[in-house]
Amino acid sequence: MTDQDRELIEAWRAVANAKLCEFRRQAWRLAMLVRRGVVGKAAAVDRLYEIAIAHALVRALGEDRIQAILDEAFAGADFRPVEQEVA
């Protein structure tokens, strides 16, 4: 691997890490909404994973790291039904 390759990879990771910070914030925000029963857990997790793919976080950081972030954020979220589904 050349110096150029290493620098280009570092640039890729730096941008991914900036996105990662917001991704993590949104994961915790949606997990809170799941706990309140506003959003369904499956819908929130699925959408976050789609976001991670769309913004190349999965490609840059790996599936395991993305899954760990989701697991951490949603660890205490239960499966209360979404209010609209109850009616």
**Helical pair 3-35 and 41-54, crossing angle rounded to 10 deg:** 160
Q: Name the residue with tokens 């972030």.
A: 69
Nearest to 79 by CA among 46, 40, 52: 40
Mean of pLDDT over the chain: 84
Total residues found in the chain within this entry: 87
Cβ neighbours of 47 (radius 10 Å): 13
pTM: 0.72
Q: Map out the domains of the chain as residue ranges.
A: 3-86
Contact 15, 59 (CB under 8 A): no
Q: Report the chain's C-alpha Rg in angstroms.
A: 16
- The pLDDT tens digits for 11-46 are 877 877 788 888 999 999 999 999 998 999 999 999
